[in-house]
Structure 1
Amino acid sequence: MRLPVTAAAGTIAVVLIALFSAAADGLGSAATVAISHGTDTVCGVLAGNAPRSIQCARGTQPAFSISSNVSFDSVSGGRDFLCGLKSGGTAFFCWDASNASSTDFPQKRVYSGPALTDLTVGENQIAAIDRNGTAIRWWRGGGSFPRFNVSRSYRSLTSGRGFSCAIDANNTVRCWGGVLGEWIQGFFSNASMASIVAGDFHVCGLNTTGFLVCRGINDYGQLDAPSGPAFEFSSLALGASQSCAVRQANGTVVCWGGGGGSGTYAPVNATSFLFIVAGGDLTCGLTTMNFSVVCWGTNRSKPAVPLSLGRILPGICTADQSSCTCDIVPDSASLCSGSGVICRPCLSPSSPPPSPSPSAPPPPLTSRKTSKGWLAFAIVGSVGAFSGACTIIYCLWTGVCRNKKVHNSVQPTITAAENGGSNAGATSGAGAGGLILSSPFTSTSGSGPRIFRRQGSRVMRRQRSGPSSFKDRAEEFTFAELAAATKNFSLETKIGAGSFGTVYKGKLPDGREVAIKRSESGPRTKKFQEKESAFQSELAFLSRLHHKHLVGLVGYCEEQEERLLVYEYMKNGALYDHLHSKDNNSTVLNSWKMRIKVLLDAARGIEYLHNYAVPPIIHRDIKSSNILLDGNWVARVSDFGLSLMEPESNGGHLSTRAAGTVGYMDPEYYGLHHLTVKSDVYGLGVVMLEVLTGKRAIFKDEEEGKPISVVDYAVPSIVAAEVARVLDARVPMPGPHEAEAVELVAYTAVHCVSLEGRERPFAADIVANLESALALCEDSHGSISSISLASVD
């Protein structure tokens, strides 16, 4: 599906006025109602639903819901599409609304990562502010918009047709969008602004003294704002040719411009509104009385039309009640489906806020009562914690908690040593994304802005408790059969080595080409016991797992001290060989698109292990030699000899002796013996850097001749926004869209190799980013389709 981003005329905004001389904060283009003006589609976030879903309507037609299991905070509209910000701000999705005859809006995930706010859509750009307020993040927009994050504190982010603006910490308006952005910014060069809202080619806002200011093109009188006292208006909405505002005193709306006459007019008479939004020639407002939506156009003689939407949220739900500096909307906990509250804007004392609905419940308890409530909660909690501790001590003392069996389909005991070597050509399976470009980015120490942040829940890990996919039972071969298939394990059939033995190419009597991994034979020493454990581990895991991006197990042999595993043969060998072998002359991987595809395949395999296997599996040895390529160049993760199951208890981590390959091992795991799924993420990050640079995980520095890791080599340049300095010279320099894709992969890799596991993304986040990067490589028109990620499963 293509989502053309063409003109977000009149992006939506709600202006919040702070008390007295304090600067007002705007909600940018994020609200609970939005307009796709090119399709006359109006959408809103429904109140009281769980999850908080989005409902849309077109004119007098019946309302329809956007099919989704995602809960949303806000929605923002462009000309032909809409985007919704997921609750908590950790992802956003977009829907194509260009098919006016259809109400089917398949959603595409565009971003997954650290929490965002103020999501805004323009002509060919999407932007949002980090929830922590440290930067503006950008998607698309062409050369006139920043390719990296703008790292400063901003508020009131808003977008018009081909430009975006925001207010910095000094109350100065800053705009982006080439010449047009500079032109708009010039109008506010001497103004100290509290909030701004953009239309097509004009911007209005409240300055820090509370007066309304409008600048830009005035072809239709859209700048002819009414004069009035300070803090008269509480909300603004700008369309293509018309501007409107909500009076703070009574919630009524006044509009001007539109080309239909001079002066101001009241489109909805005395109806009171909480806020208004605009897009093109359409303006809509949320009524104070019953949270319904009413819309009107620029024709002053045409009456406003109520839409068939259900009750819409009167504001954005926040989980942090302490962030409400003034008051909380009555019954907001119920409106937010029991998850969060809605903050009331801080209004000037010169004008009282609009009266709440008569049916509204009394306001929340005073701070004094709240404090007492927290005190009581703390006392009860302390007693409960003490009781729980006593129970645990008793349980351990009496042995009640001991020897509990954990139900599990597979529970191998693994203790494997470090290993290395290539798994070249070993196997083939049974069948084949926060995404943000930022500069500077976090270093491996975890400082600075971040693409990802550890999620408070595991929602992004998708169906974690879903069933594993089982395959047919593995065949049991005799040792004689496998010896015959490999010419008695002759040197000419040797193709690599794995975590517990040597890999040979073989041919079974029925003609099937296979890869056979044979463990070292010998006395039952500790080393042999480790090999035995690795054999049992891989056999156990691969016998129950099946995925297009995991190695496919054909069978096994277990005779006396011989231990062999049989896989489908992977014709194109290991990724390691294509990147580092001097004898490999393949040109297939000498394109950025193909390299990114291979990384995406591998990430999907790891995502399956972490999110869909029950219980989740930690691979422990992710490296380029364990990423194999079949005859169709589909990448698959191989070698499960070191794999362990992620425990459900203990915070999802294991305390175990470090094992893996030097250069790929998670420093946190290596140093602290603290193993989590993020340990695999570190290894994948190293592989990503290998793919980008063409360097081995550990290689000799050409200048000093000393060993250096690819992490130390590449990360400083990437953080300094000099990705091109470290790219593999064997691959042609990326074109415009490929360059953006390569940068995205590079910045994702930087976060994968963060020193602290909690700073690394989950596998699902990496998949989302790589899907986006691959889409950028495939896009030739520079439209929003280039950032459309995988459809939500």
Structure 2
Amino acid sequence: MKRSTNSTVTFSVTVTVIFFLLSPVTSLGSGSTHAVVYGSDTVCALISGQSTQRILCYDTRRSTNVTLNPGVSFSSIAAGDNFLCGIRSGGYSLLCWDNIGSYSPNRKRIYQSDTVLLENLSVGDKQICATVNGTNSLKCWRGSDQSKPPNERFQSISSGVGFSCGVSIRNNQILCWGTDPVKSNQIQTGFGNTTMVTISAGESHACGLNTTGNLICIGNNDSGQLNVPSDQPNHYSSLSLGSNFTCAMRISNSSVVCWGGGAERFNNVTDSISFESISSGPGLICGLISSNLSIMCWNPSNFSRILLPFPEVLPGPCVESSSLCSCGIYPQSDKLCSGSGSICKSCLIQFPASPPSQLPLPPPSSPSASSPPSKALTRGLLAFAIVGSVGAFAGICSVVYCLWTGVCLGKKKVHNSVQPTITRGGSNSRSNSSNSRSLTIRRQGSRMLSMRRQRSGTSSMKHADKAEEFSFSELASATGNFSLENKIGSGSFGVVYRGKLNDGREVAIKRGEVNAKMKKFQEKETAFDSEIAFLSRLHHKHLVRLVGYCEEREEKLLVYDYMKNGALYDHLHDKKNVEKHSSLINSWKMRIKIALDAARGIEYLHNYAVPPIIHRDIKSSNILLDSNWVARVSDFGLSLMGPEFGKDHNPYQRPTKAAGTVGYIDPEYYSLNVLTDKSDVYGLGVVLLELLTGKRAIFKNNGDVEEEEGSAPVHLVDYSVPAISADELGTILDPRVGSPELGEGDAVELVAYTAMHCVNAEGRNRPTMTDIVGNLERALDLCGDSHGSISSGICSIVSD
């Protein structure tokens, strides 16, 4: 992302100066995707390209990595004196870890609310503050709550040592508060009545951009940290302040320049590097490099620098819906967020208008002086105005055409969906079990705005460029001529074999049946086309990847990544498999983790695929486990594309007959032939019940003993839901896993109540996939550091 400066002329003879501010203003403890912890030289960051935007910390002294809450997603983090805080994705929770420099940080939940969500985070040496999403009101903790300004709303906040400051929305002036009134009063008085846009705090000084785009610094200047380079007015965006230095990012090329405390010695290095953002501790500066999203840190006091051994770091928070990105989406957002959201480009910040003759463009000798715009600038502004006028005329014509043809009045609507709240024992519960114990599924209205989707047909995607084409002889050779010993299962249109390609890749090859009757042949043909159409364009960590295909005469084969650990169904219901892998599958934490993986894959299909996709055959045998026990949804032979907005009351399609698997098929879909995304929710609910009870979707039951023969078949929903509603969950839990440990009890209960509402008879009363993902994330978080560890290679720290 490159920064630039644009200007525009309005017809009322005023000029509005606009700057790109593509990165958050970052100080000792302002919220960002990376942070430096005071005193320990530990750097923490939000890691990209994974199913959760987890926090990874690196201790530069001991050269060790520590992961905090590995199964939880965060939107921003900020550091204080030996502690770190992070806002959970969605803003409903604030977690902090004390003793961050030790091997066992102590986690504390500082804030939790399903309705009042947090956004801008600010952490000082001790104090913690954040603004509320939507109202911009202020909340503070750990000592600074009593001194915060009452009834003020802030557009920017930042914290230093003993003080915090913010830009008031009421008058754009700086207000400061904190445990050190001398510092806070000095800095607030120094800014005076100057109208500001941003603020960034250091140990004992603060800097910010005023409403004309100039950089102003106030406070202690013992090391020259207030001496803004005189040749760089109106050229800065993001800021980062330390104990005795100030750093800023240039708008022109995203490079970093620092001054004060010897930090200038690195300017010859940082002048040639583009950064996404910068953060600082008292003596350490870190920048996120644009070219590879790695973190480079440098120390002004000892003239050392280091590239941290992190994977790619998020350049910004992953938001649930791309419709929230009013200024566009960051490149490769889908990859960086692993299909679980989008990263928004930062918007232009518009400074207040002023007459052209008084437009502040100060000369180098006086950062606060004013001079008229140059002739070149005037010509540029005039050209920009002409282009804008043409664009406005085109826009008016589009609106007229839209109204004339009636296109605007059709079915293409954007729905703001507020999801149901599920409660225990409440009269407002929309489930059939009004006496169930409490469970809240977060309202997603503010986070899950409906996304615009463009319909596209399957035919154009059948032979997508990303799917390799294999010859039949290649695949026959890879499977030992489709030998029985390589047979590993069956799918929606054929038998699946394990194979090894000539280049050494292990794959799973699905071969369609040949010489079938015409009707069956047509069904297999449709399934084959569906798999290619969907999987060739879907790329997500929790969806099985299509490697390629083969079409030769009547032979139709599909090639997938090989899933070493097979299907979830086998691990739950094949006694040999369960006993063999009991150390992994027989833990509540692992089962919840698998459920969360699958839910994220389905959520991607419903909310982020364009157009949306309904799977139609969610079941435990279609949830596969790779070599790292990551769960992936498979088998898209029955899948259908949805309309532009596949919400509760907009059925995806009305196929000629209901399709799916007995035990998992949505009863509403089966009886009424109305298919919505809630049909997949029902199937996942049955899978959740399988994970809880260890029983098949349809089983024969004789008392407490599950039998293959001799008894009437029982549906798992009919068996489980009454027990969950009656607070008798313990009577149906899988005995092979054992009783939940401390913390796991609440997690298992949360999963049970989520499952119960997923299998509600009416689709409108079922939660959305986003609701389910949120609940399973919380359930996994509740498991803490129980024996069912799901991390490998990096120390995982989760404690209450």
What TM-score, normalized by structure 2, do the two folds share?
Answer: 0.48
Q: Which has the higher contact order (CA 8 A, sep 6+)?
A: 1
